Structure 1
Amino acid sequence: MSKKLIVVVGAGPGIGNHVAKKFGDNNFRVVLVSRNQDALNQYVEELKSQEIEVYSVVADAASTESVETAFEKIKKEYGSIDVLVYNAAIVEGGRPTSLTPESLLIHYQVDVVGALRSALQVIPNQVANKSGTILFTGGGLALQPAADYAALSMGKAAIRSLALTLAEELKPQGVFVGTVTIAGAVEPGTHFAPELIADKYWDLYQKHEDHEIVYS
């Protein structure tokens, strides 16, 4: 039986790579996506050293053209995408009055629009196959917004709404959409260690029951 394929947009040493490892340990092929080729090369070597079949593609989640080109390459070279994880976000502080319309749009291009961009690349095939999973990295700021992280609070609220509305639309078509709402700071060696949070993505994928897990 051939391995299923997971694509992680927003690869990195925290949640992204630990989700990739969790699925890779469970016989998935992995494609990591981020803007930095040098970092991707390092991540690929780390996962390969753990006997995971892993590849990488460079893309900027804020660019429609870049995302479309990346997914065309992924589908051509690695086949149908069974699971998409969107983990990209701009994590910067700033109070509401420090924002400008332009700076907020920059955040939204990555935090929210990039999630939709990526999802639209996999939804048609998943609907045609009546099978597939799309998972988003959410945050507790969606539930308890903080003035010191105004743009990120708005972004996490929006991606939560995107996840839950997509879930409602796509469930009858056989596609599962979920979000892990991480209500705390990700930190190795704590309750919010990335490997523990990665287990929740796997739970959503396996069970296809709740569309949101609030990890607190």
Structure 2
Amino acid sequence: MSKPVIVVVGAGPGVSGSVARRFAAKGYDVGLLGTDADRLAELDRQVADHGAQTLAEVLDVTDVAAATSEIRSMGQWWNRIDVLHFNPSAFREKDPLELTVEELLEDVALGVGGLLTAVQAARQFMSAGGRVTVTGSMAADKPWNRAASLGVQKAGIRNLVRSIDTTLAPEGIRAVSVTVQGSLGEDGPFTPDRVAEAIWDAAHQDEASWSSEVAYHG
């Protein structure tokens, strides 16, 4: 039997990199999709050091056709996707009086719409036991007005995750967002590695008592 596979959308430093390494250390092969070629190459090397087979591609997930093609290519390569992790969001420092409708929609296309693209592309390679995980944020409930679009993205993606979970649950595929209730840092309870551990735990929660949102308080 082939190893399980995780595809990380929005791969790079921070939580997404920690998620990739965490799952690789647990025996997963890893697909990496990110926008920065240098950071992606470095993460690819780190993940391979854990013994994982890797595929890495530079990708803008808002390019629906390209994202669909790349995710399906990874699914075809391994003939499976067991976990799809979605990490991207757009940070734009503008309050509601500065933010334009076009900018808001552009940010939502990345931070929410990208998940829709990824799930639709990965679905045919997922089976019972498959999981969709998402990096959430306290911005969903306590937005900073100076980054108004981020709160909209995080609230929107949490809502979308619930709909995805309800839709896929009859097939034994579950979705969960992990709401990080703190600011990421290099030390303390909100390091990327600790958040990645929380995402691992959320993906492996008991299906009988499944929750589509898990709050991580550190």
Asked whether the two chains share a fold, i.e. TM above 0.5, the reply is: yes
Does 2:158 align with 1:160?
yes
> Distance between the aligned counterparts of 2:125 and 2:29, measured in 1?
18
> Distance between the aligned counterparts of 1:52 and 1:124, measured in 2?
23
Choose which of 156, 164, 168 in structure 2 pairs with 1:170: 168
Partner of 2:194: 196
| Cα deviation, residue 154, structure 1 | 0.5
> Distance between the aligned counterparts of 1:37 and 1:73, measured in 2?
19
| Cα deviation, residue 43, structure 1 | 1.1
Does 2:47 align with 1:47?
yes
User: Tell me, which stretches of 5 or more residues in structure 2 are unaligned?
Assistant: none
AA paired with 1:26? K
| Cα deviation, residue 210, structure 1 | 2.2
AA paired with 1:214? A
| Cα deviation, residue 19, structure 1 | 0.5
Q: 1:77-88 residue pairs with structure 2 within 5 A?
A: 77-88=77-88
User: Would the aligned equivalents of 1:19 and 1:198 in 2 still touch at CA under 8 Å?
Assistant: yes
User: Tell me, which stretches of 5 or more residues in structure 1 are unaligned?
Assistant: none
The one-character-per-residue Cα deviations of 1:70-121 (angstroms, maximum 9, x if unpaired) are 1132123232111000001112321011111111111011000001110111
Q: 1:34-113 residue pairs with structure 2 within 5 A?
A: 34-113=34-113
More displaced stretch, 68-77 vs 98-107: 68-77
The one-character-per-residue Cα deviations of 1:30-52 (angstroms, maximum 9, x if unpaired) are 11111222221111112223433
AA paired with 1:46? Q
AA paired with 1:121? A
User: Would the aligned equivalents of 1:58 and 1:70 in 2 still touch at CA under 8 Å?
Assistant: no
User: Would the aligned equivalents of 1:21 and 1:52 in 2 still touch at CA under 8 Å?
Assistant: no
Partner of 2:146: 148
AA paired with 1:133? R
Does 2:209 align with 1:211?
no
Partner of 2:132: 134
Number of residue equivalences: 214
Does 2:15 align with 1:15?
yes
Superposition TM-score, scaled by structure 1 size:
0.93
More displaced stretch, 89-98 vs 154-163: 89-98
Does 2:6 align with 1:6?
yes
> Distance between the aligned counterparts of 1:72 and 1:163, measured in 2?
20
> Distance between the aligned counterparts of 1:98 and 1:164, measured in 2?
31
- The Cα RMSD (Å) is 1.4
More displaced stretch, 149-158 vs 160-169: 160-169
More displaced stretch, 173-182 vs 199-208: 199-208
SS at match of 1:2: coil
AA paired with 2:35? R
Q: Identity of aligned pairs, percent?
A: 28
